[in-house]
Structure 1
Amino acid sequence: MNQQIRNIMTQNVATVTDTQSIQEAAAIMSQKNIGSLPVVDHTGQMVGMITDRDITLRSTAQGENAQTPVSQVMTAQQIVQADPGMDAQQAAQLMAQQQVRRLPVVENGQIVGMVALGDLATDNQKDGADQALSTISAPSAPQK
């Protein structure tokens, strides 16, 4: 039987608000040894995601100030999310389709967990994780 995401997700997820600086976001990532953070507004509703890559390419490479608000660098549209009731196979398929390695788990607009490809790589979910990794790692456009 396939496990629900709620049983394998990481709980107590670190977040950042959309008004905090990218320097603060980077410091949280460094402290927690993670590469992405869900972005929430003042009510706790998830409004985006920010990654270490976002900070590098959308701010540092553009000469932005370290005090630039997260809202100017984050990905805010079409955030791929999981529901805690989703099963692990569905999550693996979603990750493969969207070519993402981490899924925020959202319930009623609130972040309740995070599931990573590594979370799916348990004995019971190994086939789905292997398939997802293969698809995620494939180039999105043919190489010439």
Structure 2
Amino acid sequence: MNFIKKPKKPKTSAPARSQMALLGGSYSLVISAVVLALLIVVNLFVSALPTTLTKYDISSTKLYSITSNTKVVVNALEEDVTIYWIVQAGQEDDVIENLLSKYESLSDHITVVKRNPDVYPTFAEQYTDEEVPNNSLVVEFGDRYRYI
């Protein structure tokens, strides 16, 4: 019988194996930290973009979009328009917030100002005698105004 001898694997000492495992683990940790940091930077960059670039109206009737007629009117503004958003802190309606930010980004003549009724309890009284619910709007244009 012929016995074929298998070559013996060189024995590595226990400290050499643990050092290789430590290097592999360190490499994985560094790569994970770099990827995490990169994801955080990308997230911060995307969150800094205006909502006109990050939110799209996918409703069938384009309910949350600004029409081309509105854009023409807004671009023709020559005087400043202030939209007062009467809303309590933390109770902002997302749809209204989205539309108001779109209006504000269309023209330098449009300014949106939040007025918290808890902080300014008599603010709405100068525009209406009605009880003003949360997420109401007052649009002021020169000497004219409209409570919505």
**TM bracket (short chain):** under 0.3
Query: Relative to total residues, which structure has the larger helix share, 1 or 2?
Result: 2
TM-score, normalised to structure 2, is: 0.22
Q: Which structure would you say has the larger RCO, counting Cα contacts within 8 Å and 6 or more residues apart? A: 1
- Structure 1 length-normalised TM: 0.23
